[in-house]
């Protein structure tokens, strides 16, 4: 089942992003390139974020089914060290493309939603038993 969900993301997606950190909020553009390899066992993702007056951020993600836990996971490799607001490794919730990561008393939740020709990516953060707060929102379309 997870292979079908991952294959739906295949292709290039370009769009706008809103990023909120502890000290600032900024707008950016993002480009995501997804492709499956090894008969759909892995989904490889290359990501580039550009924002005014900021060094471009790049990342490489690998989505896969974990052999030991049978959970869909993602691991991220970045040009900059992941901040507490970014996921390094996430585990999907059931069959949704919603990845959770816990670091100390903080949690992140990243959701990938695909509707028709629009990809929405949202990352939220919660500390302790607190409410979820949006730290990243992106809306993307496939270029023509």
Q: What whole-number distance in Å separates Cα of residue 100 and Cα of residue 118?
A: 22
The reported pLDDT for the residue numbered 121 is 94
Taking Cα atoms as reference points, which of 105, 101, 49, 39 lies closest to residue 73?
Answer: 101
Q: Which residue has the tokens 């502890």?
A: 22
Which pLDDT value is given to residue 92? 60
Model pLDDT for residues 10-59, shown as the tens digit of each residue: 999 999 999 998 788 999 999 999 999 988 788 999 999 999 988 889 99
pLDDT at position 14, please? 98
What pLDDT does 7 receive? Answer: 82
Which pLDDT score is estimated for 135?
Answer: 93
Q: What is the pLDDT of residue 90?
A: 56
Tokens of 103: 């670091």
Q: What residue ranges define each of the domains in the chain, with the CATH number in brackets?
A: 2-141 (2.40.128.20)
């Amino acid at each position: 089942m997870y292979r079908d969900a991952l294959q739906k993301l295949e292709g290039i997606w370009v769009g706008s992003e809103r990023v909120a950190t502890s000290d600032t909020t900024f707008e950016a553009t993002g480009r995501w390139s997804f492709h499956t390899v090894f008969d759909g066992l892995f989904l490889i993702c290359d990501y580039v974020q550009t924002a005014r007056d900021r060094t471009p951020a790049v990342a490489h993600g690998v989505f896969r089914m974990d052999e030991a836990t049978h959970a869909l996971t993602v691991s991220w490799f970045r040009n900059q060290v992941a901040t507490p607001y970014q996921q390094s490794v996430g585990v999907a919730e059931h069959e949704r493309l919603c990845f959770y990561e816990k670091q100390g008393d903080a949690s992140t939740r990243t959701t990938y939603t695909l509707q028709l020709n629009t990809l929405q990516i949202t990352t939220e953060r919660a500390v302790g038993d607190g409410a979820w707060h949006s730290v990243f929102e992106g809306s993307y379309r496939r270029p023509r």
